[in-house]
């Protein structure tokens, strides 16, 4: 029962976030920052954000294992995802896709 309630909260939260992002996009804002807690399904969140036309996502995290884990979860959920990795610790420098999963330090060093 608790798992179902938690899954429902995440689903409702993602739907609200998507509605808010669409409204913000209509106002002409180019950059929007979304933060989330540890237990949020970030792969599903990215999929929903990228379903909005002309939206690009940069997902930052500080641990290389989380960069890899987020990438794998997204590909499992959305096999054709337009995603690239940008992380020196993973020896990947793929930018230009709709979604980029990156390490904070790699982006900071790039300046």
Asked whether residue 16 carries a pLDDT value surpassing 80, the answer given is no
Asked whether residue 52 carries a pLDDT value surpassing 90, the answer given is no
Asked whether residue 88 carries a pLDDT value surpassing 70, the answer given is yes
Asked whether residue 80 carries a pLDDT value surpassing 60, the answer given is yes
Asked whether residue 19 carries a pLDDT value surpassing 70, the answer given is yes
pLDDT value of position 68: 92
Asked whether residue 95 carries a pLDDT value surpassing 90, the answer given is no
Determine whether 86 is exposed, middle or buried from the number of CB atoms within 10 Å of its CB (0-12, 13-18, 19+): buried
Enter the tokens of residue 108: 């900071």
Average pLDDT for residues 71-91, to the nearest whole number?
89
pLDDT value of position 46: 72
Tell me the pLDDT band of 86, cut-offs 50, 70 and 90: very high
CA–CA distances in Å: residue 9 to residues 13, 16, 65, 75, 107: 6, 10, 26, 23, 32
DSSP 8: H
Residue 43 half-sphere exposure toward CB, CA atoms < 13 A: 16
Tell me the pLDDT band of 1, cut-offs 50, 70 and 90: very low
Query: Whole-model pTM above 0.85?
Result: no
């Amino acid at each position: 029962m608790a798992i179902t309630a938690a899954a429902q909260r995440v689903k409702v939260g993602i739907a609200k976030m998507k509605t808010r992002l669409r409204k913000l996009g209509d106002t002409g804002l180019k950059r929007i920052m979304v933060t989330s807690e540890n237990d949020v399904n970030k792969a599903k969140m990215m999929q929903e954000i990228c379903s909005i036309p002309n939206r690009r996502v940069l997902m930052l995290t500080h641990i290389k294992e989380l960069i890899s884990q987020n990438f794998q979860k997204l590909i499992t959920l959305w096999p054709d995802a337009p995603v690239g990795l940008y992380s020196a610790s993973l020896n990947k420098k793929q930018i230009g896709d709709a979604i980029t999963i990156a390490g904070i330090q790699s982006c900071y060093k790039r300046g």
